[in-house]
Amino acid sequence: MANQNIMCTVSSCHYWTQGNRCNADQILVTSDAMAQKQPDSIDAPRAEALQTVSANSSMETCCKTFVHKNSDKTNADGIKKQ
């Protein structure tokens, strides 16, 4: 069953599902700058150890859990489909 609280329109993501819902068991939202610096293995399961970041608008944030549905790295971060 899809996450009832996280809505997302990025249909090319491995976790996207019908109704524009996210089917990941957890996600990590962070700044674009942080996401670009960190490897795929850094994601929601390691969030408690991460430093906080600052952003000035929604355009400076992103979903780091995104992985393309055709990627061979869908297991790189420990995130599972619900």
Secondary structure (3-state) at 62? strand
Secondary structure (3-state) at 81? strand
User: Of the candidates 2, 27, 34, 44, which one interacts with ligand SF4 according to CB under 6 A?
Assistant: 27
Q: Within 36-75, which residues bind ligand SF4 (CB under 6 A)?
A: 63, 65-66
User: Of the candidates 2, 24, 42, 44, which one interacts with ligand SF4 according to CB under 6 A?
Assistant: 24
Instruction: Please name the residues in contact with 79: beta carbons below 8 A apart, sequence gap of 6 or more.
Output: 15, 24, 25, 26, 27, 43, 44, 45, 65
Question: Phi, psi (5° rounding) for residue 38?
Answer: -95, 145
Q: How far is the CB of 26 from ligand SF4 (least distance, A)?
A: 9
Q: Is 16 a binder of ligand SF4 (CB under 6 A)? A: yes
What is the contact surface with ligand SF4 in residues (CB under 6 A)?
Answer: 6, 8, 10, 13, 15-16, 22, 24, 27, 63, 65-66
